[in-house]
Structures are given as C-alpha cells and as structure tokens.
Amino acid sequence: MIMLDRNFSFGVHNRKSFLEYVEAVAEDTTKKYCILAVDIEYFKFFNKWFGMSAGDEYLQELADYLTAMERAHDGYAAYFGGDNFALCVPYDMELIHSISEHLNGIALAKADSVAFLPAIGVYVIEGNDIPAITMYDNAIEATFYVYGNYEKRVMVYDAGMTCKVEEELQIISKVKEGLRLHQFTFYLQPKCRISTGKVVGAEALVRWNHPVRGLVSPSAFIPILEKNGLIGQVDRYIWEEVCKTIRGWLDKNITPVPISINISRMDILSMDVPRILDELLKKYALDKKYLKVEITESVYTEQVEKIIATIDKLHEEGYTVLMDDFGSGYSSLNMLRNAIVDVLKLDMKFLNMSEQDSKKGIGILESVVNMSSTMEVPVVVEGVENPTQEDYLKAMGVRYAQGYYYYKPMAKEEFEKLLTDETRVDYRGIRNRHVEQLRVNELANPELFNDTLVNNILGPIAFYEVYGKEIRITRVNELYYEMAGAGGELTKECKRRFWDNVPEDDKDRVMETFEMAAKNTAKGARYEGEFVKVDGSRLWTHLKLFFLKEQAGHKLYLAVFTDYYDIEDKESRTYR
C-alpha cells in the first residue's frame, strides 16, 4: 500500500495512490471492480447553513464508512478534495446500493433533509485501455445524473453520458448570449371551457429560437438551467415579455384573457418573486387579473415551506396561483388540503390513462376532481389530446382543459387573432362552481380509497355515521390509521368508539361542528382541536367535516384531516 500525504484527507488515501491502485486493478483480469465517485449535493450550502466544522464532521463520517468498506471488501478509498470521495470495490450492485443507503443515512442524520444526500456515480472497470483518471471522471459524470433526483442516488456511467454533459455545457454557455440577442420568446397555449371550446385563458411557454438548432422546446433546456440557477434569468425575461405583450394588446384595444406564467422552484429560492412581479405590473401598468402564476410544488421540506410562504404572499397581494402538474407525485398535499392554491392543474400524462391501468387512472382523476370540488378549487386538465378523453372529463364534471385537442401552443401573433374573434373567447375566466352535492361514491370505492395518490392528496379521512349523539367511525383510510397510531389496523372496537378520540372538554364543540356541517352542506365545517391517539397521547388536528347524506335515520359525514401534529412538539408539524 502506498501512503502519501494523508493530511486533510480524512484518514483515507489520496488521489494519486487511488489512481495507481485503479491502474493495478484494471490490469488484473481476474478482478471485476468498479469506481464509486461520491459527491455531496449542495455541500456548499451545508457548510453555510450548519457551519464548516459540521461540514468537516459530515465528511469525516463519510470517510470512516468508506474506510470500513475498503477493509470489508478488499477495496480502496480516497479523498479527492472538496466534498469528493472515491471508492474502488468489487462490482456488485447490491453492495453499491447498500453503501448508498448507508451514506444516505449519515446525511439524513446530519441535516434531516434530502437536499444534502451524497450522489454516487459508478464506473465499471473493464480492462486498462483508458487511464484511471478518465475512469474516475466518467464516474463523476454519472453523478450529474443523480443531482436533483431524490429517489435514485446511484447512477452507472454509460458512454452516451459524455455527449449529454457536453450538450448541457453548450446550452449553459449560450443562454446569456441568447437572452442578449432576444432569442428567447414564448408561445401561448389556450385554456378552454370544455362545454363551449371557448378560450378562457392561456399559458405562456418559453421557446428558444436557437440560431443553429431552430426552435428549441423547454424540456431540452429548462431542467439544465434549473440545476444551476440560470432559469431565473430566462424566466424574468419571459415574464417581462408577457407583460409587454399584454400591454400591447390593451393599447390596441384588444381585451386579453389572463395569461399564466411558469414559476420555477428555483425562482422562488433565488429571488423575491412577488416583488419582481409587482414591479413588472407597475412598469407596464397592468392589473393583476391579467397575470396568473403556475407553480409546481417541490419534494423537499425547506423548499416546501419557502414555496408555501411565497404562495401566501402572492395570494395576499391578489395573484391567482395555479398548482401545476398535480398528480405528478411531487405536487400535492398540503397545498390543496389547506386550499392555498386557487386552481389545480392535472396532467393527463401522469394518470396512465392509456394502458391497462386506465381504469385506475380515471378513478384517480375522478377522486381528485371530486375532492377538489369539495375543497372548492377548480381544476384544469392539461394534455387533453382526443375526444375520448374529453368525454371522460365531461362525465366527471371537469370544466376546463388545455391540450392539443383544443389548441397547440402558438405564436403570440396567432393568439392575438384568436383574441379578436369574439366567438372564440370567454371572459368569465376559470371559476369554481358552487358545490351542491358531494359525489362521494367514487371516493368510497375501496380500490381507490387507499391508493397512494389519493391518500397523499387527501390526508387522513374518516367516514362517520351519526345517530343523535352517537357517532360511529365506519371507514377510514391508511393515513388515518397512521395518524391514530393504530399500526395499520383499527380494531372493530376502536372504530366504534369515536368519543375515545375526543378529550372530554371538547365534546360539545365537536357536536356543534357536526351540526354546522349539516347546515352548511356545500362548505362543510372546519374544526381544530385535540385528538387522542390509541396509545393515549395527543395530537393537534385541523379538519374539515362534510355532511354527505341522510339514510335510514342516520346521517353520514366525512372528515378530511388537513393537518396534524404532536401536541407537545409543534415543531414536528409536518408538511407532507
């Protein structure tokens, strides 16, 4: 074993000796080894938030674990400077995944956030025809594909990756020039009222008029720009272009429909979005009703809080907020449950409608549509491509849609022509229909009731039967079990004892809430109070109670728990 400078190396080998080791392994045809490049995502911010010494401790723990792996698997661990480590071990995916999981555990214990998880890139050593350093670089390249993906923290390098990285680099290096030369523009895609096909609004979608590649669609560059913050510059540019365009129409006496702009999560983190929008509206003397914002909720906690705070602020200032890509798995939950979004956008493509699963997709769509009408949040379904899909939507009572079936995204000049054709425009906008009757049958369908998506969107739910003062829990979903601490199963006895969940002093208030819900069938009643878990400990819960119907002398109710947290520990309050 060659040992060189071990200073500042966290007790593992250094780069030079690692590369020598790899060359030796590559020559040994009896060995099938691989290189793991380990890089911590956002490590700079970890140091900033938690301090350098916490950062060093984190690195030290990683190093210790890698040393243990080196010993256990006849491998070699090294520090490459910054937050980069490398490990050379026998190529075995099971081993790699277990290493990744262990490293994730270290990260989560340090910061309780997926933001600082290590990314692992793997290069499988096959012979010695490329230098060891190139092998390591390839492993590093594979880590780029892990960034931002909090489900999958390991990527194995393949040769196609190199050109993709280069392409990314080209995009990044051309953005500023593109902005300066006005190569960026936007298309508008109408949103339609399904019953009439008329245009009630439109979404601005960025396009890059690239001198070499032609019109580039955002999926080719947005994700790249989101990774490095450049998206903010493009978005601000587009927002301003949109405002300019609306102002242009007004000056020409063309009445615009509201135009929604897309706000990236990165925008919210990197700038004061409400202030910037305000400045733009002032600059172009526009009323807020013309500009709406589409935001996708993010996966990780710190961001969710910041996003929620930003949405609250935008609300206070009178903007309409649309929650984009609802049902994509990332969006959802608290935003809808706490009704802080004004409109929900559901994308057909997240619903798996085409395959054998289509029944389930439709069921999910239906449950979401029902629930959103309960929550009084209107829905726009996007990605509608054919009349069959439209028929489904109509049957479900969805009233607004966006998709190729109606209009493809179009240049603003073309959209302007649409706007001047009165027969095709509807200025009533997107509104919620007053909910008279809850359609709860589909929701109670056992197949869908516990579907992950529905579960996550709705949170804990319970159905009650009420006879006078006697209240029985008749049905709950999985999240309710979880909340009640019933470990996945609520015994029959527990189910019947509704009042066991309610502290003595609150009983009257609970009864009043049931009465209020029965009086106000459309809106239901809100309740906030203590909930006694199966083990006797207490939660603070927020819920909405809805009266469903009366049958055979008893009343049926539905409770949707919008939030809950440990009473002793309000800090533990979760945004799920």
Site residues (CB under 6 A) for ligand C2E?
Answer: 189, 205-206, 217-219, 222, 231, 235, 238, 262, 264, 294, 324-325, 382-385, 403-404, 409
* Two structure tokens written together for 447: 């197949």
Spatial neighbors of 498 by CB under 8 A, at least 6 apart, are: 464, 471, 472, 473
Per-residue burial over 547-571, b if 16 or more Cβ lie within 10 Å, else e, is bbeeeeebbbbbbbbbbbeeeeeee
AA identity, residue 330: Y
Q: Is 426 in the site for Ca ion (CB under 5 A)?
A: no
Q: Which parts of 474-520 fold into alpha helices (H)?
A: 478-484, 492-496, 507-519
Q: Which of residues 308-337 bind Ca ion (CB under 5 A)?
A: 324-325
Q: What is the DSSP letter of 156?
A: E
111 or 393, CB closer to Ca ion? 393
Partner from Ca ion, ligand C2E, none contacting 241, C-beta within 5 to 8 A by type: none
Residue 408: count other Cβ atoms within 10 Å of its Cβ: 11
Size of the site for Ca ion (CB under 5 A): 4
205 interface partner picked from ligand C2E, Ca ion, none, CB below 5 to 8 A per type:
ligand C2E
CB of 401 to ligand C2E, least distance (A): 9
Q: How far is CA 263 from CA 26, 76, 175, 295, 298, in A?
A: 48, 45, 18, 5, 12
Closer to ligand C2E by Cβ: residue 202 or 375: 202
Handedness of CA 266, 268, 271, 276 (dihedral sign): positive
Q: Considering the complex, what minimum distance in angstroms separates the CB of residue 416 from Ca ion?
A: 21
Q: Which is nearer to ligand C2E, 385 or 566 (CB)?
A: 385
Partner whose footprint covers residue 235, from Ca ion, ligand C2E, none (CB < 5 to 8 Å by kind): ligand C2E
In the list 17, 138, 262, 541, the residue contacting Ca ion (rule: CB under 5 A) is 262
The CB-of-238 to Ca ion minimum distance in angstroms stands at 12
Nearer to Ca ion, 294 or 342 (CB): 294
Q: Which is closer to ligand C2E, CB of 38 or CB of 231?
A: 231
DSSP per-residue letters across 438-460: ---TTTT-HHHHT-HHHHHHH-S
117/238 with CB nearer ligand C2E? 238
Restricted to residues 281-310, the positions that interact with Ca ion (CB under 5 A) are 294
Which of Ca ion, ligand C2E, none interacts with 253 (beta carbon under 5 to 8 A by kind)? none
Phi, then psi, of 503 in degrees rounded to 5: -65, 145
Is the separation of the CB atoms in 439 and 548 below 8 Å? Answer: no
Q: Which is nearer to ligand C2E, 15 or 265 (CB)?
A: 265
Give me the count of residues in the chain. Answer: 576
Q: How far is the CB of 437 from ligand C2E (least distance, A)?
A: 31
State the minimum distance, in angstroms, from the CB of residue 555 to ligand C2E.
41
Binding site for Ca ion (CB under 5 A): 262, 294, 324-325
